[in-house]
Structure 1
Amino acid sequence: MLRRLIFALLSTHLALPVQASLKDLSHCDPLKKDAHCPPDPALASKITFDFTKSTWGDQFTSFWTVDSSTSQDKRQLILNDTDGKGAAFTIWQDGQAPTLTSNKYMLFGKVRVQAQAAKGPGLITAIVLKSDSGDEIDWELLGAFENQAQTNYFFDGEPLFNTYNTTYRLDTSSFASAHTYGIDWTPTYINFSIDNVVRKSWRIGDNAIPAYKWPQTPMQVKLGIWSVSNGSDPGTVVWAGGLPDWSGRDAEKNPYRAYFKTLELEDYAGGCNETQKGAEIEYLYNERTNGWQNIQVKGCVKRTTPGAYPPPLPSSSIGSQPSHPSSSSPGPTDASGAPSQTGEQNPNESESSGDDSDSAALPNGRPSSPLGAVIFLLWLLSI
């Protein structure tokens, strides 16, 4: 009985979320002893992907891998006829989670995604950076709550909820139109931005988190939508605002939809700013790898120090195959090929425009619980 009461308390009041449940591809964990994983292909460039112009074909699949369920039923991912909203990620029954995963990896860099969240209890629209070893940085848009967005961070598959799970208020609905969600990830800081305004900065060593728990292994970009179910952890269901209502829904009639409009991605390539001409850039691990400094960048001639980020990289657009980095290159381009200007705040500038001032507890009243209380409750569960 005591265990049930404590579990109910954890589920109802703490409502700690679980790792984003976008569908994963099967990868080798390169940091496990004797894993002998193959190299990860590096993006090593800047790229702009316009989902409003995407179609199924070689150009799309050269950049993205689609989960097997969606490959078999493409009604879960509509790439045209969406009135300019972009790719429509569509679900109408339990267990669906259409997911795009980039075929190439980034080792530090910038991500900007225009997304319009799906509306409905239990639905999560997700923008995820995830490594083969379990490092992860997330934006999560909950369909039960209209004017908020959340960020989270995992190291080696372990969530750090009480330290880095943060909720941000939105001035306008996440369902009615697209917002731009950004992540700037370096060896020393992670900046989260909404509509090109930095809302939160995490710096290495903050909140007594040791440096070795900083996410620092090459990551893929994952975009998608998922839902909780009757089999989900009760605390996760509470966090997601309840279970989805599937009644009267099918692929053509009133499905749930999230839209992804554009992706801007820049891979800092582990600090590489000069490469061998024509070389395929790859990230390699060995048995001595215990941080980003030990990850080899195959094809790299010169790497910068962390303070020199970002290195210059070439750019491409509309989902075309990225080119290889060089020591000098033009800036990013928009879909028409013209230089783009984002107007973003420099990540090294003052954080006064955002930081914690607009963070808020979830509308369901979930408190920001101290780590000590959680540890104590978990200890009671084990009695």
Structure 2
Amino acid sequence: MPSFMKFVAAALAVAAPLASAQTYSDCNPMEKSCPPNKGLTESDIHFDFTKASGLDQWKISGGKVPTGSNGAEFTINKEGDAPTLVSDFYFFYGELSIEMKTSHGQGIVSSAFLQSDDKDELDWEALGTKGDTIMTNYFGKGDTSTYDRELWVPVSAPTESFHTYTIQWAKESTNWLIDGKIVRTVNYNDAQGGARYPQTPMNIRVGIWAGGAPTNAQGTIDWAGGPTDYSQGPYSMYIKSITVKNANPAESYTWSDKSGSSDSIKFTGSNAVSSRSTTSEAATSSSSEAASSTDSPSTTTEGTSSAATTLATKTSGSSSAESTAASSSAAGASSSGAPPQRF
């Protein structure tokens, strides 16, 4: 089963029906020279989406995103709607917390995730027909040769109430937390020895899309819970706030080579940190507190922590798998029951 299904560029969301908005890369630095990523110079920043000013550092696509007492509103009224916010900055290790209420509705998907230009990715994804679980997932370098990384974790009434969904992202491990409690941990070495561990600067992408749209492959529709009935809408998700703790503030992040390794990222600008950090104190502190809650049955840890190894020596061994994934068709996924193609 998949994470974000068949997504394309946000700019195409209006031009193509259900060309959903979130997963894409304008320029992949592992394939060619690309401009530096605009960095986040603050180590801690909070966006209050109950106020219009909260959208100042965000790009809107795929529809309108009004603000109000429930925060930013992402609504599907008709086929083709996929309102999305994308941060105009990247950050590099740290913590993302999103105060969110997901949407109800068959085939409706509420998404919140981080993605880098080489398609490293850390996800939250909720289906409108699942009232007690939400999906966590990750991808490294856009590799979709397997779909064995997703994990559904329990959450209470996500379509009826706000919860705080947090990703603590560090060099050696990543934690997913709900309302301050760890529900999943992935270590660097769990992801093909680090070759598929997310480790490059990411921006933030949040939005809603109809996985059950009739234009989607059957595999996507089945995964999303069935066909979307637009007459039963509108379907809305809400985000009250987003908080980011950036472990490595900088005006920009420059890819010094095509390895896709965290060690290849250079910090630029007068506000750049003098020495890189692999995590943030806040993330470490929260992780320790959450880890001490041993009475939580939902906590899942995958593997054991391992020191980072050099990615450049790992990627070539997986290149054929990526090629296979890129060429697999959504129709084939539909007939086999496997998840549809990602971009």
Amino acid at match of 1:264: T
> 1:51 and 1:204 mapped to 2: Cα distance?
33
Q: Which moved more, 1:23-32 or 1:350-359?
A: 350-359
Q: Which moved more, 1:20-29 or 1:210-219?
A: 20-29
1:216 equivalent in structure 2: 199
Counterparts of 1:233-312 in structure 2 under 5 Å? 233-247=217-231, 254-269=233-248, 281-299=251-269, 300-304=272-276, 306=278, 309-310=279-280
Give 1:185 shift: 0.5
Cα contact 2:106–2:225 (8 A) shared by 1: yes
Give 1:290 shift: 3.3
Deviations 1:22-73 (A, max 9, x none): 51476211121xx221111111321111111x22xxx455400111x42xxx
- Aligned match for 1:95, one of 80, 94, 102: 80
**Runs of 5+ consecutive residues of structure 1 not aligned to the other structure:** 1-14, 273-279, 313-331, 333-342, 360-374
1:42 aligns with 2:42: no
Cα contact 1:27–1:132 (8 A) shared by 2: yes
2:30 equivalent in structure 1: 31
- Aligned match for 1:198, one of 182, 186, 189: 182
Q: TM-score, normalised by structure 1?
A: 0.68
**1:18 to 1:264, Cα distance in 2 relative to 1, 3 A:** closer
Give 1:345 shift: 4.2
1:315 equivalent in structure 2: none
**1:20 to 1:347, Cα distance in 2 relative to 1, 3 A:** farther
**1:39 to 1:311, Cα distance in 2 relative to 1, 3 A:** farther
**1:90 to 1:348, Cα distance in 2 relative to 1, 3 A:** closer
- Aligned match for 2:142, one of 147, 157, 171: 157
> 1:113 and 1:18 mapped to 2: Cα distance?
18
> 1:160 and 1:153 mapped to 2: Cα distance?
13
Deviations 1:120-165 (A, max 9, x none): 0100111110111111111001101111111111111124765420
Q: Identity, % of aligned pairs? A: 28
Give 1:205 shift: 1.2
**Higher Cα Rg, which structure:** 1
Q: TM-score, normalised by structure 2?
A: 0.75
> 2:128 and 2:104 mapped to 1: Cα distance?
4
1:143 equivalent in structure 2: 128
**Runs of 5+ consecutive residues of structure 2 not aligned to the other structure:** 8-19, 302-324, 326-331, 337-343
Amino acid at match of 1:266: K
1:64 aligns with 2:58: yes
> 1:209 and 1:351 mapped to 2: Cα distance?
29
Give runs of ≥4 in structure 1 deviating > 4 Å: 15-18, 347-351, 353-359
Cα contact 2:247–2:277 (8 A) shared by 1: no
SS at match of 1:236: helix
> 2:194 and 2:234 mapped to 1: Cα distance?
44
1:104 aligns with 2:89: yes
Give 1:289 shift: 4.0
> 1:217 and 1:195 mapped to 2: Cα distance?
26
Cα contact 1:197–1:353 (8 A) shared by 2: no
**1:354 to 1:37, Cα distance in 2 relative to 1, 3 A:** farther
Deviations 1:303-323 (A, max 9, x none): 1453xx3269xxxxxxxxxxx
Give 1:182 shift: 0.6
C-alpha RMSD of the superposition? 3.0
**1:182 to 1:305, Cα distance in 2 relative to 1, 3 A:** closer
Amino acid at match of 2:71: G
> 1:174 and 1:354 mapped to 2: Cα distance?
18
Cα contact 1:200–1:351 (8 A) shared by 2: no
> 2:141 and 2:297 mapped to 1: Cα distance?
26
Deviations 1:243-302 (A, max 9, x none): 11112x6xxxx5111111111111112xx6xxxxxxx62100133543011110113352
**1:348 to 1:181, Cα distance in 2 relative to 1, 3 A:** closer
Counterparts of 1:115-194 in structure 2 under 5 Å? 115-159=100-144, 162-170=147-155, 172-194=156-178
Q: Tell me the number of residue pairs that the alignment of Structure 1 and Structure 2 aligns.
A: 288
**1:351 to 1:161, Cα distance in 2 relative to 1, 3 A:** farther
**1:357 to 1:293, Cα distance in 2 relative to 1, 3 A:** closer
